[in-house]
Homo-oligomer: A and B are copies of this chain.
Amino acid sequence: MNDGLARLKARLEEIQGLDAISLLLAWDHRTMMPPGGSAQRGRHLALLQRLGHERLIEPETGRLLEELAPLEDSLDPASDDASLIRLARRRYEKALRVPPALTAEMVRVAAESMPVWVEAKATSSFDLFLPSLERSIELRRRYIECFEPRDEPYDVLLDDYEPEMETGDVRRIFDEIKPELMTLIAGQRDGNIDDSFLTGDFPVERQAALAREVVELFGTRPDTWRIDPTEHPFAAAAGIDDIRITTHYYPNRLDGLFATMHEYGHGLYEHQIPRSFAHLPIGNAASLGLHESQSRLWENLVGRSLPFWRFFYPRLRELFPEQLGDVEVERFYAAVNTVQPSLIRVYADEVTYGLHVILRFELEQDMINGRIELRDLPEAWNRKMRDYLGVEVPDDARGVLQDMHWASGSIGYFSTYLLGTVMSVQIWEKATEALGDLEGLVEQGEFAPLREWLGEHVHVHGRKFSPQETLRRATGSTIDAKPYVAYLTRKFGAPVAA
């Protein structure tokens, strides 16, 4: 191997290693750590981030990238090495623009804001959170100023979560989706689905056994995953053979099962990154949006489908006979697909979910562009909830304070939830085209073909390409809202079988 390339790889492997260690520490923070360890954990995470950042922006990185430019030009741009050099250059050039003092302040303010948000949410007091939000937005504006002017300032933030995607692109997609969702919601008949049996007695130990069973059913390599309970479900890959997903078991509801399927999708993406470059920065998912496409695919297109429940419902009924003994599969399927506008994004159904995201995407731009006074944010939030979902927000805890993203400084993140959902349908349809009767396979409990197809057509690329190029290679098309709208219309536009 070219000596410069070997040295660049050694350097990037260190940075990737520090990132993976940070993920493990963050997982531990949320699952295992005694609460007393919190302050020190924050300092350790900041240390790892700073060491990785320092390594990345050392002059030697720039020198190696310059030295490797001719090699990069001579390689197939789709090769692992060319992709690695391209990605490293992109990260290096972005990192160089941001003064370490600003990065450190962003980390510090996020750490300080989180407990303030927790308290503000607990007391439903937006005023308490407002100063933190003001500092956070101010820091994002300074961050944006580190970069060349873009069409819209928000582009800079979005690029950190969905690389090479522009605000205008997202807006066009969301503008196409919004009226369709509102029409679908308007068309829902109220109260004609009895889902009362979804509330009751679902013993937590049986739910935990069920989570393990479902993950095993969908498929993993042996001895490589674990599942733990947390307040908010998430997935963390400490490595391709060390996948940790979490879920939340409510003793009276089955939501944790769908969360498990969702996190399985995230975990599988990381699990199927090619071993040959998993230790390098191209060994990550292409973007948060593509990551979400995988979680939504397993949660919704598999996990909320009638074929899946035709296969799996007998087992579920066996586990919870008191609750489900009298309920036929079609009624169960209809109940877990009830469309009902509600206050909280993370509990929203497939149809209303998109509007929760669009609302946040719009408000974030207004905040960044200064089109809204931050103190007026609750009012703007509540107005949009009324306009889009017909829901009255009773307090800020169930309104503008519900998500932790803004407290943690993750501004620009929300749109990836809906972008991912849109892409999940494109990927599902391409998989169906490739595998033939995919629904039939699901109905037989055969998940290996889907899992392997995703591995070979999506996960195989890691972060070698932009998310849109990755999607194009997998499906032949970049992002397109039409399959998603058509899927929702098929599933929810006509009366659901009940």
A interface with B by C-beta (< 8 Å): 14, 17-18, 20-21, 24-25, 28, 32-37, 39-41, 43-44, 47-48, 51, 221-226, 238-239, 241-243, 279
Contacts and interface: CB of A to CB of B under 8 A. Distances in A.
A51 B51 CA distance: 9
Contacts of A243: 34
Contacts of A37: 224, 238-239, 241-242
Contact of A34 (B40, B43, B242): B242
Contact of A226 (B24, B34, B238, B241): B34
A17 B239 contact: no
Given A28-B28, A223-B34, A242 B41 contact: yes
A241 B36 contact: yes
Given A32-B32, A34-B225, A43-B279, 12 more contacts: A14-B51, A20-B40, A20-B44, A21-B44, A21-B47, A34-B223, A34-B226, A35-B223, A37-B224, A40-B279, A41-B239, A41-B242
Contacts of A47: 14, 17-18, 21
**SS class, residues of chain A in contact with chain B:** helix
In the complex, the 10 A-B pairs of residues with the closest C-beta atoms, listed nearest first? A37-B242, A36-B241, A36-B224, A40-B239, A35-B223, A17-B47, A36-B223, A34-B224, A34-B223, A37-B239
Contacts of A48: 21
Nearest to A48: B21
Contacts of A44: 17, 20-21
Nearest to A271: B36
Nearest to A35: B223
Contacts of A224: 34-37
27 contacts: A14-B47, A14-B51, A17-B44, A17-B47, A18-B47, A20-B40, A20-B44, A21-B44, A24-B25, A33-B238, A34-B223, A34-B224, A34-B225, A34-B226, A35-B224, A36-B221, A36-B222, A36-B224, A36-B241, A36-B242, A37-B239, A37-B242, A39-B241, A40-B239, A40-B241, A40-B242, A40-B279
B34 A24 contact: no
Contacts of A24: 25, 28
